[in-house]
Structure 1
Amino acid sequence: MDSLDTVSLSILLGAVLVLAGILSSLVALRFGAPLLLVFLLVGMAAGESGPGGLRFDDVRLAYTVGSVALALILFDGGLRTRFSTFRSVLAPSLTLASIGVFLTAALTAPVVVQVLGLTWLEALLVGAVVASTDAAAVFFLLHGRGLRLRPRVAATIEIESGTNDPLAIFLTVLLVELLVMGDRPWTAVLASLVGQGLGGAAFGLLGGRVTVLALNRLALPQGLHAPFVTTAALTVFGLAQSVHASGFLAVYLAGLIVGNRPTRAHNTVIAFLDAATWLAQIAMFVLLGLLAWPERLMSHGLQALAIAATLMFVARPVAVFLCLAPFRFSWRERAFISWVGLRGAVGIFLASIPLLVGLPRAELYFNIGFVVVLVSLLVQGWTLAPAAKLLRIALPRAEPAPRRVELDLPGQLEQELVGYHVGTGNPYLRRKIVPSWAKPVLVVRESRVLSAAEAGAIRPGDHIYLLAPPEKAQALDRFFVEMPPPPAPDPRLLGDFFVGADVQLGALAEIYGLEIAAEDRDVTLADHIAEALGHPPHPGDVVPLGAIALVVSAEAGGRVTRVGLRLAAPDPVPRGRRPRLVRWIARARALARSVLEP
C-alpha cells in the first residue's frame, strides 16, 4: 500500500506543479515577466533546496521530457511559418542560425577560458550551450506588451529562432562526444555535421509530405486529426534521431510542410498543438527548475555573470552585425535583433546533456548555463519592449485583435467558415468592403440565423460568417477591429486605419486582392509613396493603389513613417450639402420621370 500511496502522491505533486505553472502565467501577463522564468522559479521553489523540499535528480527523465517538448515547439513553429515569409528572409535568417551560432559560441569561449580556467574544447561547449535563442519567450513578451514588430524584423527573428536550435543541439552533442571519446579528425566531424543535416532535411520533407497525405486520405474519427498530427511529428523526430540524423531539424521542416499544405482540421490541429506545447513547456521548465540548486548556482555566480555579460554585449551583437552586413538591415534593426538574443529552454536543456552522459565538470556546465539563462531572462526579457520602442522597431498596437471563430468544412480543403462580431467602429461596417477572396454567407442577428441575402445590410451587433481560404483567414481581423472614431474626422487626411510605412506591398496585396508585380512585392509603402510622389511627402498626400488608397499620415526627415489605408471612396455628401449642379440634375431627372410616367 505504501507504494500505491507514493504513486498517488507523485501524481498529486505533479498536477499541483503544472497547475501552479499555469496559474503563474497570469502573473507573467500582469507584470510582463517571461513565462520561462516563472516556470523555472516554480520548479526551484518546489525542489529539495526550496520550500517544497521535493527531491528530484532524474536527469534522464528531464532530458526525455525536454526532447519531447522541444520537438513539439519546433514542429509548432514550422506549422505557423508561411512559405512566403520563409522565402523573404531565408538568407539572413539561415546565416544567423548557422554562422551566427558558431560565431556566438566562439566569441564566448575566450572569456570562459579566462574566468573558469577550462580548456578550449570545454569552453566551446559552454559557448554552444548558450548560443541559441528562445523564440517563445521573445514573442510572448512582445505580444503581452501589445507590440508588433516590423514585418521583416519579426520574420527574421522567427525563422532564426526556429532553425538555430537544431544547429546548437548538434554542436553541443558533437563537443560532448569529442570530450568523451577524445580527438576525432576534423574530416569526420564535418562528415557527421553534413550527414546529420542532410538526414534531418530528408526525414523532415518526407515525413511532412506523408503526414499531409495520410491526414487528407484517412477517414479518421472526429477529434483524432490533431492527436494524429502531433504523434506523427514525434514519430518523425524519433525516426531521425534513431538513425543519428538531426531530429530537431526534421520536425521543424515537417511542420513547415504540413502548415503550408491544405489539410483537414487545420484549425483544430493548431488549437491542440497550442495546448500540447504549452503543457510540454511547463513540464520541461519545472523539471529543469527541480534539477537546480540555488547554493550550487551561486558557487560560480560571478563567473557566470561575466559570461552572460559577454554573451549579451559582445558575442551576440558582433555575430549579428557581421552576419547581417551583406543584407539591407539598418543599424537599428541589427541592434534590436542583437538584443533579442534571449536565452531560454534550449540553453538549460543542452546544459543537462553533460549531466546525462556523466561528463567531468558536468555540474559546472549546468550551473553556468542555468545562471546565464536566468540573467538573460531578467535583463533582456524585461527590457525587450522598451528596446523595441527606443529603436523604433515596434509600434504600439492601437487596437485589440477581434475574436475570430474558424470552422472547418468537411469535404474540401480550400475554404473555411470565419466568423466575427460586428462592432460600431469596424472598418467593415464603415466602408462595407472585404477582400475579393472572402464571401459573406451567414449572419446571426438577434438569435436568428440568416443568409447573406436575407440579412441585407449588416448592422452593429450582428455576427457575420464568411468563406475564406484558411491561410488568409487571419488577414480578415483588420476589417473587424473595433476602432474608436478619430477626434477630428477628415476624409482627406485620415484612412480607415493605420499601418507602418515599412509594410511591404506584397503583404497588402494578399489582404486586399491587389495586382502587384512580382518585382514590387518586397517594396515598402514608404519607398512606393516616395517614388510615386516624386517630392518630399506631406501629411494628406494620397497615392492610389488598386482598390484602396495610401494616405500619408506622418513623416519624419522627408520619409513616410505612418500610412493610412482608405478602403473605399468617402461616404456621400449629405443631401442638403450637395453641389448646386448635382441638385439641378436630380431635379431635372425627377421632372422628366413625372412627365414620361403615365
Structure 2
Amino acid sequence: MPAPSPQFALLAIGILLLATVVAGSFSSRFGLPALIGFLGLGMLAGVDGPGGIAFDNYLLTQSVGVACLIFILFSGGLDTDWKAVRKVALPALCLATFGVIISAGTIAVSAALIFDMTLLQGALLGAVVASTDAAAVFAILRSTGLDVDGDVPALIEFESGTNDPMAIFLVGAVLLLMAAPAAPLTGMAVDFGQQMTMGGLIGVAAGWMMPELLKRSAYPDGGTAFVIPIAGALVAYGLAEAAGGNGFLAAYVAGLVAGNRVYAARKMVSTFQDGIAWLAQVVMFLTLGLLVTPTNLGDVILPGVAITFILMLVARPLSVFLCLAPFRRYGWREKLFVSWAGLRGAVPIVLATFPIVAGVPGAFAIFNVVFFVVVLSSLIQGPTVKPVAEWLGIARMNGGEAPEPKPRVPQGF
C-alpha cells in the first residue's frame, strides 16, 4: 500500500483532531470523562474500525505519552493555587505515595490469587493501574455544575498531580526485579529517595527561573512568553532525568512554583498552557485508541471486570481510609467520595506500554487488561460522581447552598 501524500496525511490529522474534540465534548454531556470520546474515536480510526489505520508502534506510543504527560502535569501545576492546596499537602502526599503502594499491593495479591499470574506479574499490573487521574473528575464537576464542600477537591487535585511519579517508580522497580530477581530492595529505596529529591529540587529551580526569564524578556507579552514555558517544562523533565531524578515530578513542581509567582504574562501563559495540555490529552488518547485492537479485548473481559471492581471497591477505598486515618477532619463521607473519585486515566495505559517495550512475558495481556480497566472505570465512576456526592451530602450545586447532610455517624462507629 503506497504511503499517503504529506498533504493528505496533514488533512487526515487535522480532521482527526477536530473529530476528537467533538467526541470528547459529546461524551462529557453524558457525564463521561472526555477520554472516553478520545479513545473511542481512536479505536474507530484504528485497524478494527472504519478508519482502518494499522498502528502497533508501542515505543512511539510510549514516547508520545511521555511527552504529552510532561505538558499535562506542567499545566496542572500552573493552575494549582498553593494557598488552596497547602493545608492538604500532607494527606495528599500520603495518598500519592503510601496510597499508591497499598492499591498496587492489593491488586498484586488479588491478581496472583484469582488469575494465572505470578506475584511479580500481579505487582506489575497493580503498579500500572495504581495512580489516579483527577483531571477527568474535575471535567465532570465543571460540566455538571457540581462542587464539593471543604478541601476535598484540593486534596484530589494535589494527589493526582503527585501520585504519577510513585506509580512510574513502582513499574520500573517491578521490571527491574523481573530482569534481575536478586536486585537488592535497599538499593531501590535509595533510588526512590534520590528520584523524589532531585525531581523536587530541579522542579523548584526550573519553576523559579521561568518567571525570572519572562520578567527580563524584552517581549514579556509576545512570542517568548509562549516559548519560555514550553522550554521550562522540557528542561525540568530532561534535567531531572539526566540527574537521576523523577522528571514527571519535576515538571509538576516547576508548574506549581511558576504558577504561584507574580509576573506580567502570568495569565496569558496559563491560558496558553491550558491549550497545550488539552492538545496533549487529545494526541495522547487518540494515539492510545489507535494502538488498541478491540478484537483482542474479548479474552480479558473477565479479568478486566474483576480487577476493575477490586480496584474500585477494595484497593482504592482501603488505601484512602488507611492513609487519611490520621487526619480527623475527613469523615467517612469525604473518604468515600475521595475513594469513588479515583478514576483511572491516561497514565496507566501509557505505563502499560513499558512492559511491552521491555519484552516482558504476558505484557500484551496486561496492556489489554489495563485498557479495559480504564474504560470500564470511567464508564461506571464517571457518570456517578455527582450522584455519589449528593447521596453523601457533600455536594454544593452551582455555587449555592449545600444540601442538608445526612446524620453523622457517632465518632466511635
TM-score range, shorter chain: over 0.9
1:1-150 equivalences in 2 (<5 Å) = 5-150=4-149
| Secondary structure of the structure 2 residue equivalent to 1:276 | helix
**Amino acid of the structure 2 residue aligned with 1:266:** R
1:323-334 equivalences in 2 (<5 Å) = 323-327=323-327, 328-334=329-335
How far is 1:374 from its partner? 0.7
Answer whether contact 2:103 2:311 (CA < 8 A) is retained. Answer: yes
The aligned residue for residue 225 of structure 1 is 225
The aligned residue for residue 394 of structure 1 is 395
Residues 73 and 555 of structure 1, relative CA distance in 2, 3 Å threshold:
closer
How far is 1:187 from its partner? 1.2
Distance (whole Å) between structure 1 residues aligned to residue 205 and residue 240 of structure 2: 11
Distance (whole Å) between structure 1 residues aligned to residue 175 and residue 9 of structure 2: 33
1:546-585 equivalences in 2 (<5 Å) = none
How far is 1:285 from its partner? 0.2
Answer whether contact 1:18 1:282 (CA < 8 A) is retained. Answer: yes
How far does the alpha carbon of each residue in 1:206-245 deviate from its partner, in whole angstroms, 9 at most, with x for none? 1111112111112236132023112211221122123331
How far is 1:500 from its partner? 5.1
Distance (whole Å) between structure 1 residues aligned to residue 126 and residue 136 of structure 2: 20
Distance (whole Å) between structure 1 residues aligned to residue 298 and residue 345 of structure 2: 19
How far is 1:557 from its partner? 6.9
State the superposition RMSD in angstroms. 1.8
Distance (whole Å) between structure 2 residues aligned to residue 292 and residue 121 of structure 1: 24
Distance (whole Å) between structure 2 residues aligned to residue 241 and residue 59 of structure 1: 21
Which structure has the bigger radius of gyration? Answer: 1
**Amino acid of the structure 2 residue aligned with 1:184:** A
1:169-568 equivalences in 2 (<5 Å) = 169-220=168-219, 222-327=222-327, 328-397=329-398
1:143-158 equivalences in 2 (<5 Å) = 143-158=142-157
Distance (whole Å) between structure 1 residues aligned to residue 405 and residue 115 of structure 2: 52
| Secondary structure of the structure 1 residue equivalent to 2:330 | coil
Answer whether contact 1:77 1:162 (CA < 8 A) is retained. Answer: yes
Name the % identity.
42
Answer whether contact 2:25 2:34 (CA < 8 A) is retained. Answer: no
| Secondary structure of the structure 2 residue equivalent to 1:33 | coil
Moved over 6 A (4+): 554-558
Distance (whole Å) between structure 2 residues aligned to residue 251 and residue 555 of structure 1: 39
How far is 1:271 from its partner? 1.1
**Amino acid of the structure 2 residue aligned with 1:278:** W
Distance (whole Å) between structure 2 residues aligned to residue 131 and residue 269 of structure 1: 32
How far does the alpha carbon of each residue in 1:222-278 deviate from its partner, in whole angstroms, 9 at most, with x for none? 132023112211221122123331001111111111011112211111111111111
How far is 1:555 from its partner? 9.1
Distance (whole Å) between structure 1 residues aligned to residue 295 and residue 180 of structure 2: 31
How far is 1:499 from its partner? 5.2
| Secondary structure of the structure 2 residue equivalent to 1:40 | helix
How far is 1:90 from its partner? 1.1
Residues 556 and 45 of structure 1, relative CA distance in 2, 3 Å threshold:
closer
Answer whether contact 2:392 2:406 (CA < 8 A) is retained. Answer: no
| Secondary structure of the structure 2 residue equivalent to 1:63 | helix
How far does the alpha carbon of each residue in 1:19-48 deviate from its partner, in whole angstroms, 9 at most, with x for none? 111111331232222101110111111111
**Amino acid of the structure 1 residue aligned with 2:268:** T
How far is 1:556 from its partner? 8.3
How far does the alpha carbon of each residue in 1:133-152 deviate from its partner, in whole angstroms, 9 at most, with x for none? 10110000111011111231
Distance (whole Å) between structure 2 residues aligned to residue 83 and residue 500 of structure 1: 25
Distance (whole Å) between structure 2 residues aligned to residue 44 and residue 306 of structure 1: 23
Answer whether contact 1:226 1:265 (CA < 8 A) is retained. Answer: no
**Amino acid of the structure 2 residue aligned with 1:134:** D
Residues 297 and 342 of structure 1, relative CA distance in 2, 3 Å threshold:
same
**RCO greater where, 1 or 2, for CA within 8 Å and sep 6 or more?**
2
How far is 1:313 from its partner? 0.4
Answer whether contact 2:78 2:257 (CA < 8 A) is retained. Answer: yes
How far is 1:6 from its partner? 3.6
Distance (whole Å) between structure 2 residues aligned to residue 180 and residue 19 of structure 1: 42
More strand by share: 1
**Amino acid of the structure 2 residue aligned with 1:337:** V
How far is 1:296 from its partner? 1.3
How far does the alpha carbon of each residue in 1:528-573 deviate from its partner, in whole angstroms, 9 at most, with x for none? xxxxxxxxxxxxxxxxxxxxxxxxxx89879xxxxxxxxxxxxxxx
**Amino acid of the structure 2 residue aligned with 1:364:** A
| Secondary structure of the structure 2 residue equivalent to 1:395 | strand
Residues 268 and 303 of structure 1, relative CA distance in 2, 3 Å threshold:
same
Answer whether contact 1:165 1:248 (CA < 8 A) is retained. Answer: yes
| Secondary structure of the structure 2 residue equivalent to 1:342 | coil
Answer whether contact 1:93 1:156 (CA < 8 A) is retained. Answer: yes
